[in-house]
Structure formats: structure tokens, C-alpha cells
A and B are shown apart, each in its own frame.
Chain A
Amino acid sequence: GAGVSQSPSNKVTEKGKDVELRCDPISGHTALYWYRQSLGQGLEFLIYFQGNSAPDKSGLPSDRFSAERTGGSVSTLTIQRTQQEDSAVYLCASSLDFENEQFFGPGTRLTVL
């Protein structure tokens, strides 16, 4: 597709379960970013990938969060042992390369019961 896509669009899970969120960036974009947006709040940077370099994980809130990017394209954000405070919209963005214009996907709304 032409834009960034994310799946699922909505995810409801029980506290303590693991979840995986997927992001398909725009074809040819080497940089990929994950953000979190809690209700009524701004965006919180989580992690970014640039090409084959080691990802910048400085924004991950705890060691329950991890992300990988396979083949420089699709990325998966994994949250282990989910907590209620993990409930948020998780947004993915991609750009041609780092410090270039970012384009956002529609987000995944995660609800932890």
C-alpha cells in the first residue's frame, strides 16, 4: 500500500498476557519509529530503527517492551505481561531516513483489562 499500515487496529487483552503489534512501513523507508499515546496526551517516543543500525531503545518504558524489525521492513512491538497502564494507542511512523519527514500509520488501540 501507499501508506504505513498497522495491525490489529484494536486489541483487547487481559492483564498479564503478552501482545504483539505489527507495523508495515512505506516501501523504501529506512527509518521506523514507535510511539505511544495515552488518552488525551501527546506522543511518547518508544523506539526507532534506522537501516541495519542497532535500534535506539531509549524511550522504552520497561524491559517488558521490546521491538524488532525483520529484513529492514516490517516491525513488531511486543509487550510482555501487560499491565493496565499499558493501555494506549500505539503509533508507528516511517521516514525515508532518519531526520526526514515522518508518516504515521492509523495506530493500534490497546486495552488491557
Chain B
Amino acid sequence: GIQVEQSPPDLILQEGANSTLRCNFSDSVNNLQWFHQNPWGQLINLFYIPSGTKQNGRLSATTVATERYSLLYISSSQTTDSGVYFCAVQLDMRFGAGTRLTVKP
């Protein structure tokens, strides 16, 4: 089945810093989503982005389907951004292992 790899596995930032999270996948996909799992375990939809670029406030995402990767950008990070960020490709219901982000005040 399709492989999904996320990097980095862990990321520690100072509040206000910017970051880029990456998701690589091993085969072409029709769909890709980014989620944030908050410290209480709830998965929150960030982007549904099979291709192209989207922005929502301080967050933006870009998927280059032909090169099999997606990037999630977090600007001016806040402590509430802490948690685990997952990308998921729905062709095979595969989730990456996640990036654990810690934003320190």
C-alpha cells in the first residue's frame, strides 16, 4: 500500500517562530488532508488539499501532487498550535506518523 512519511517527527519552537512540516507519499493520490490533534485528542481539520495552495489565517498548505509531497506552513506560532500534525491520503486511508509540535512561550 501507499506509504506516507512526515518530517520532522518532533519540532520545538519559540512562540512567534515560523515552521514548515512536510508530508511525502509514495504514490499518486486523489485526496490529502492535514489535521491537528490537540492535547485532548480531538482531530481538527486544517486543510483538504489534493493539489494547489490554500491559506487559512496563520496556516497555509501546498500540495504538489506530481512530486508526491505536501507542505504545511505555520507562521507566528502560538502555544495553542502545540499538538500533533497528521497528513492523511485517502486513496488508501493512510495516515503519516505525525509531527509533534511544541511551542514554548
A82 to chain B, nearest CB (A): 20
Q: Which residue of A lies closest to B90 (CB)?
A: A99
B96: CB under 8 A from chain A? Answer: yes
Known: A33-B93, A42-B97, A48-B93. A100 touches B45 (CB 8 A): no
Q: Which residue of B lies closest to A48 (CB)?
A: B93
The A/B interface has a contact count, at CB < 8 Å, of 45
In angstroms, Cα B50 to Cα A100, docked, is 10
Across the interface, which residues of A come within 8 angstroms of B96, CB to CB? 42
Count of residues in B whose CB is under 8 Å from the partner chain: 19
Interface residues on A, range: 20 to 34
A-B contact pairs, 22 of them (CB 8 A): A33-B93, A35-B95, A37-B41, A41-B97, A42-B95, A42-B96, A42-B97, A43-B86, A43-B95, A45-B94, A48-B93, A100-B31, A101-B33, A101-B45, A102-B33, A102-B45, A102-B90, A104-B42, A104-B43, A107-B41, A107-B42, A109-B41
A-B complex: 8 closest residue pairs judged by Cβ atoms:
A101-B48, A104-B43, A45-B93, A43-B95, A42-B97, A42-B95, A99-B31, A99-B90
